[in-house]
Amino acid sequence: MQETKRKYVIPGDIVAEGNLKPLVNVFRNGNSIISTRIGITESSQDGAKVIPLSGVYFPRANDIVIGKILDHSSLSWSIDINSCFLAHLPAQDVFGRDFSPAQDDMGRQLSSGDIIVARIAIFDRTRDPILTIQDNDLGKIPTGELIKISPTRVPRLIGKRGSMIQTIEHATTTRITIGQNGIIVVSGKDKEGVTLAINAIHIVEVEAHTSNLTQRIKQLLNVPESEIESDDTQPSHEVNDTVTNADEFNSTETDKEGMINSNGSK
Amino acid sequence: MSISKKSPIIVENLRKKQMRESISAGKRLDDRGLDETRPIEIEVNVIKKASGSAWVKLGKTEVVAGVKVETGEPFEGLENSGALIITAEVLPIASPHIEPGPPDEETIELARVVDRGVRESEMLDLSKLVLVPGKIVYTIFVDCSIINVDGNLFDATSYAVVAALSSCKLPVFEIKDDQVVDTGKTQEPPITTTPVSVTTVKIGEYLLLDPNIEEEACMDARLTITTNSKGSIVAMQKGLKGYFTVDEVKGIAGKARTKGEDIRAKLQELIKIGK
Amino acid sequence: MVQSRSLIDEKGIRSDGRVIDELRDVKIEVGVVNNADGSALIEFGKNKIIAAVYGPREVHPKHMALSDRSVVRCRYHMSPFSTDTRKSPAPSRRETEISKVIREALEPALILEDYPRAAIDIFIEVLQADGGSRCAGITAAAVALADAGINMRDMVSACAAGKVDDKIVIDINDTEDKEGGADMPVAYMPNLEKITLLQLDGELNSDEFNKCLEEAIRGCLKVHEIQRSSLMEKYFGDEKGLKE
Say whether pLDDT at B232 is over 60.
yes
**Secondary structure (3-state) at B262:** helix
Chains that touch B (3 or more CB pairs under 8 A): A, C
How far is B48 from chain C, CA to nearest CA, in Å?
8
- pLDDT averaged over every residue in chain C: 93
CB contact under 8 Å between A55 and C243, yes or no, is no
User: Of the ranges A100-114, B69-83, C104-118, C220-234, which one carries the lowest mean pLDDT score?
Assistant: A100-114
CATH of domain C26-236: 3.30.230.70
CA pair distance B144, B160, nearest whole angstrom: 8
User: Of the ranges A68-82, A250-264, C169-183, which one carries the lowest mean pLDDT score?
Assistant: A250-264
pLDDT mean over B189-217: 96
User: Of the ranges A11-25, A218-232, B10-24, C25-39, which one carries the lowest mean pLDDT score?
Assistant: A218-232
| pLDDT classification of A106: cutoffs 50, 70, 90 | confident
The reply to whether A257 falls in a domain is: no
Say whether pLDDT at A210 is over 90.
no
CA pair distance C237, B137, nearest whole angstrom: 53
CATH 3.40.50.300, domain B23-274, yes or no: no
Say whether pLDDT at B169 is over 80.
yes
Q: Could you tell me the residue ranges of all domains in chain B?
A: 23-274
CB contact under 8 Å between C82 and B66, yes or no, is yes
- pLDDT averaged over every residue in chain A: 82
CA pair distance C145, C103, nearest whole angstrom: 12
The 3-state secondary structure of C191-213, one letter per residue: CCCEEEEECCEECCCHHHHHHHH
Residues 6+ apart with CB under 8 A from C94: none
CB contact under 8 Å between A113 and B13, yes or no, is yes
CA pair distance B219, B213, nearest whole angstrom: 10
B55, B174 contact by CB (below 8 A): no
The fraction of chain A above a pLDDT of 70, given in percent, is 82
pLDDT mean over C69-76: 96
**Secondary structure (3-state) at B204:** coil
How far is B68 from chain C, CA to nearest CA, in Å?
6
User: Of the ranges A101-110, A165-174, A202-211, B38-47, which one carries the lowest mean pLDDT score?
Assistant: A101-110
A14: CATH:
2.40.50.100
B194, B162 contact by CB (below 8 A): yes
DSSP state of C115: S
Tally of residues, chain B = 275
The reply to whether A262 falls in a domain is: no
Both A170 and A102 in a single domain?
A: no
Chains that touch A (3 or more CB pairs under 8 A): B, C
CA pair distance A222, A45, nearest whole angstrom: 40
CB contact under 8 Å between C151 and A58, yes or no, is no
Say whether pLDDT at B43 is over 60.
yes
Residue in B closest to C128 by C-alpha: B47
Report the predicted TM-score, pTM, of the whole model to 2 decimal places.
Answer: 0.91
Contacts of A40 in chain C (CB under 8 A): 243
The reply to whether A266 falls in a domain is: no
Domain span including residue A31: 8-54+240-249
Select from A10, A36, A125 the Cβ nearest to the Cβ of C111.
A36
Both A169 and A216 in a single domain?
A: yes
How far is B211 from chain A, CA to nearest CA, in Å?
20
B180, B71 contact by CB (below 8 A): yes
The fraction of chain B above a pLDDT of 70, given in percent, is 99
How far is B1 from chain A, CA to nearest CA, in Å?
27
C31, C52 contact by CB (below 8 A): no
Residue in A closest to B9 by C-alpha: A70
pLDDT mean over B90-116: 93
Residue in A closest to C225 by C-alpha: A10
Number of domains in chain A: 3
pLDDT of residue B272: 85
List pLDDT tens digits, range C121-161. Answer: 999 999 999 999 999 999 999 999 999 999 999 999 999 99
A174: CATH:
3.30.1370.10
pLDDT of residue C1: 56
Q: How many CB atoms lie within 10 A of CB C92?
A: 13
pLDDT mean over C183-191: 97
pLDDT of residue A260: 25
Q: How many CB pairs under 8 A join B and C?
A: 86
How far is A114 from chain B, CA to nearest CA, in Å?
5
Say whether pLDDT at C242 is over 50.
no
Select from C34, C121, C125 the Cβ nearest to the Cβ of B145.
C125
Distances (CA, A) of A7 to A24, A30, A40, A183: 15, 20, 6, 29
pLDDT of residue C84: 94
pLDDT of residue A230: 41
pLDDT mean over B13-30: 94
B62, B151 contact by CB (below 8 A): no
* C-alpha distance across the termini of chain C, in Å: 56
How far is B142 from chain C, CA to nearest CA, in Å?
8
Say whether pLDDT at B106 is over 60.
yes
B209, B34 contact by CB (below 8 A): yes
A24, A58 contact by CB (below 8 A): no
pLDDT of residue C3: 64
For residue C244, count CB atoms less than 10 angstroms from its CB and return exposed for 0-12, middle for 13-18, buried for 19 or more. Answer: exposed
DSSP state of C8: B
The reply to whether A113 falls in a domain is: yes
List pLDDT tens digits, range A169-195. Answer: 999 999 999 999 999 999 999 989 999
CA pair distance B133, B116, nearest whole angstrom: 24
List pLDDT tens digits, range A225-263. Answer: 555 454 443 333 333 322 222 222 222 333 333 322 222
Nearest Cα neighbor of B41 from B148, B201, B123 is: B148
Both A149 and A229 in a single domain?
A: yes
The reply to whether A226 falls in a domain is: yes
| pLDDT classification of C239: cutoffs 50, 70, 90 | low
Select from B49, B62, B93 the Cβ nearest to the Cβ of C83.
B49
pLDDT of residue B150: 97
CA pair distance A58, C111, nearest whole angstrom: 14
Select from A68, A113, A145 the Cβ nearest to the Cβ of B18.
A145
pLDDT of residue A261: 23
CB contact under 8 Å between C154 and A84, yes or no, is no
CB contact under 8 Å between C86 and B70, yes or no, is yes
pLDDT of residue C4: 66
b/e map of B249-269 (b: 16 or more CB within 10 Å)? eeebbebbbebbeebbebbbe
Both A158 and A227 in a single domain?
A: yes
Domain end: A140, A165, A187, which one?
A140
b/e map of B49-64 (b: 16 or more CB within 10 Å)? bbbbbbbbbbbebbbb
pLDDT of residue A235: 35
Q: Could you tell me the residue ranges of all domains in chain C?
A: 26-236
